[in-house]
Structure 1
Amino acid sequence: ISRQMAAPFAVSISRAIKKVTGFTGQRLYRDWVAELKLQYAGDLATVHGREVKGEVLLPEGTANLHPVWHPTDRKFALLSNRDADYFGQTDLYIYDFAGKKKLKKVAAAVNSAPLWSPDGNQLYYAKRSTMDQTGARWLDLFVYDLSTRKEDRLTHGERATSPIWIDGETIAYLTVYDGVSNIKTLQLPTGELSALTSFEDGGYIHSLAYIPADSTLIFDATINHGRDLHRLNLATGASSLFVPGRLPPNSDLREPGTHSDGVVLST
């Protein structure tokens, strides 16, 4: 098909497809749609059989993402674009079931799932910084203190996303440089940054989870196509592909999470 399209005066992709395959681009598209519908119907069969419809708390906005429960209280933090036009224009909110004003905006231009401090008094997150002297805006880590209502910037120029706890004083997060993702840590008492990985394969890491019992980070990454789960042992520094059992081949695994007993969950 590429060679047909490279020929002089070739302007129709449908004609090129027909010359190579014997059928038109329109038929190829219809067959592709039919195959996708069949695949989705199979994937959703168990979902429809167990569907539970709850109460809609936030009908406004086209992106209400990453709800994270407070450690002890009946409230959760989330991202929402309720007052914006685009999916990526999300701000950080707290929804408090006991509050007079249930929804409260905490910070603007937040891009990652929020992270509660163990005592529930602070929220950590990645957001776009204000413009620096060169005109650049960076994704960096910030913290918001609920008692003082003050926001502080923790990193500078890190291109940081997806903060998670390693322990009560250490946050792991993702960073991107020259198109390659890696994992770093931030020591909150000192502000010291350390690199946990030094990948150079052009892969993109999407999210992080942590298993305390094994001192292991689980992350989903795209290397060539689709997503796979990987693990990084913090004690040894060794990383490897994480392949759960009883899965069909070429399964697309993403957004890992961990249960308190060490079980890894993934979509």
Structure 2
Amino acid sequence: MRSLFLLGVLAFAAVPAPAAPAPKGGKAQLLIVSARTGSANIFLVDDDGTNEKNLTNSKAATNTCPAWSPDGSKIAFVSDRSGMMHVYVMDADGTNLKAVTKGEQPCRVPSWSADGKTIAFCRPAEGGSEVCLIAADGSGEPKALPGDAWDPCFSPDGKSIAFVSYRDGDGFRLYTMAADGKNLKTLHDKANPTGYRYPAWSPDGKMLAWAHGEGSGLDLYTVGSDGKNGQQFTKQGGLTAYPAWSPDGKRIAYFSQHGEGKGAFYVVGADGKNPKVLAKDEEPVEGGRPAWRP
């Protein structure tokens, strides 16, 4: 599991900008990552699985880890189209592609600050991974935050970053830190060599969801942003990961695979009830997290 690496630059979040309106019709929309075309591409779909649109449309490159800008006008993601995994930004319709990171190190798991000016990501560092911050337009050099850190996720107010880390040497744990890398806080203290992945904030900033487990057995867990009330959310087993809260906080999307077969994207109530299949017969893709349109 320690094969993920990511990137970013420092900025302090302000009040999020108003979200760009979704297309008419009333349906919520999500980004999913699918390898159905032979390579991993990012698709925009309605929340009932209809009206799919391939936004990256690559025949050979891997495109994954999508993340909406706070105003819904742009999408950050990672791609190896240049020969190395780097962070890119495109408009919400897939046009105006621009590289944000560059260099000889792979960069993964982008996350936007609340004001849309900064992107956090992670990349390899000695003995592990580091979270970096970079201007969303790719200008300037990335600023590395201290300590081993993977899978960054900005809080909705932009003041904190959730991440997982092996920094204590006996397994991954779930942490938060201030956007400048200070004020480290442990949210879940059960060390695990493989099973902390992809933390995601609830839209009100009061909860986090993440994947946790042993080896290939992962399920979703939730915990308060104060570290209290941690509990198991799914009991599907297999590979159940990549949680994403809907903008209204009422639903969670995720991916689940059992055995060696294909998996599916699901949408379930935030209370764990009424799971529905969003997209089935999907191959698992590293970083294949869904992302709700703001």
TM-score (norm: length of structure 1): 0.64
Deviation, structure 1 residue 182: 0.8
Which residue, out of 173, 180, 195, partners 2:163? 173
* CA offset digits 1:200-247 (Å, max 9, x no partner): 354511211122447221111122542111111233524221138xxx
What is residue 6 of structure 1 aligned with on the other side?
Answer: none
Distance in 1 separating the partners of 2:187 and 2:227: 11
- The equivalent of 2:80 in structure 1 is 81
Q: Deviations over 1:82-129 (max 9, x none)?
A: 121xxxx41111124799x92221113344321112221111111224
Distance 1:190 1:209 in 2: 18
Cα shift at 1:148? 8.0
| Ranges in structure 1 where 5+ consecutive residues have no aligned partner | 1-48, 130-135
Partner of 1:216: 207
State whether residues 138 and 157 of structure 1, in contact with CA within 8 Å, keep that contact through their aligned partners in structure 2: no
**Cα 1:223–1:166 shift into 2, 3 Å:** farther
Q: Which has the higher strand share?
A: 2
1:150 matched to 2:140? The reply is yes
Q: Which amino acid aligns with 2:89?
A: I
The letter for the 2-side match of 1:63 is T
* Larger Rg over CA atoms: 1
The structure where helix makes up a greater share of residues is 1
Taking the aligned partners of 2:212 and 2:245, their CA distance within structure 1 comes to 17
**What number of residue pairs does the alignment pair up?**
204
Which residue matches 2:252? 264
Q: Secondary structure at the match of 1:124?
A: strand
Aligned partner of 2:120 among 100, 121, 124: 124
**8 Å Cα contact 1:140-1:156 kept in structure 2:** yes
For residues 213 and 72 of structure 1, the distance between their equivalents in structure 2, rounded to whole angstroms, comes to: 16
Moved over 4 A (4+): 49-53, 249-252
Q: Is the 8 A contact 2:145 2:180 kept in 1?
A: no
Structure 1 CA distance for aligned equivalents of residues 55 and 198 of structure 2: 26
Confirm whether residue 186 of structure 1 aligns to residue 177 of structure 2: yes
The within-5 A match list for 1:97-112 is 102-108=96-102, 109-112=105-108
SS class of match (1:158): coil
Which region of structure 1 is more displaced relative to structure 2, 220-229 or 255-264?
A: 220-229
Q: Secondary structure at the match of 1:59?
A: coil
1:186 and 1:201 map into 2 onto residues whose CA distance is 20
CA offset at residue 55 of structure 1? 4.5
**1:195 and 2:186 aligned:** yes
Counterpart residue type for residue 71 of structure 1: P
The root-mean-square deviation of aligned C-alpha atoms, in Å, is 3.2
Shift of 1:60: 5.4
Unpaired runs of at least 5, structure 2: 1-47, 256-294
Match of 1:40 in 2: none
With a CA cutoff of 8 Å and minimum separation of 6, indicate the structure with the bigger relative contact order.
2
Paired letter, 1:242:
F
Instruction: Letter of the 1:92 partner, please give it.
Output: V
TM-score (norm: length of structure 2): 0.59
Identity %: 19
- Conserved 8 A contact 1:142-1:151: no
What is the rounded CA distance, in whole Å, between the counterparts of 1:240 and 1:252 in structure 2?
Answer: 18
